[in-house]
Amino acid sequence: MGKRKKAARKPGGGKMKVPLDTQFTCIFCHHDKSVTVRIDRKEGVAQLVCRVCDQRYQSKANHLTEAIDIYSEWIDAADAAERDAQSTRRPVASSSSSRPAAIPALDDSDDDE
Residues that bind Zn ion (CB under 5 A): 26, 28-29, 50, 52-53
Q: For residues 2 and 6, what is the distance between their CA atoms, to the nearest angstrom? A: 12
Mode of pairing for the β-strands spanning 56-60 and 22-24: unpaired
Q: In angstroms, what is the minimal distance from the CB of 80 to Zn ion?
A: 18
**Residue 25 or 62 having the CB closest to Zn ion:** 25
Q: In angstroms, what is the minimal distance from the CB of 57 to Zn ion?
A: 11
Looking at this protein, which amino acid is placed at residue 102?
A
Q: How many residues does the chain have?
A: 113
Instruction: Please count the other Cβ atoms lying within 10 Å of the Cβ belonging to residue 10.
Output: 6
**Residue 58 or 62 having the CB closest to Zn ion:** 58
Q: In angstroms, what is the minimal distance from the CB of 12 to Zn ion?
A: 35
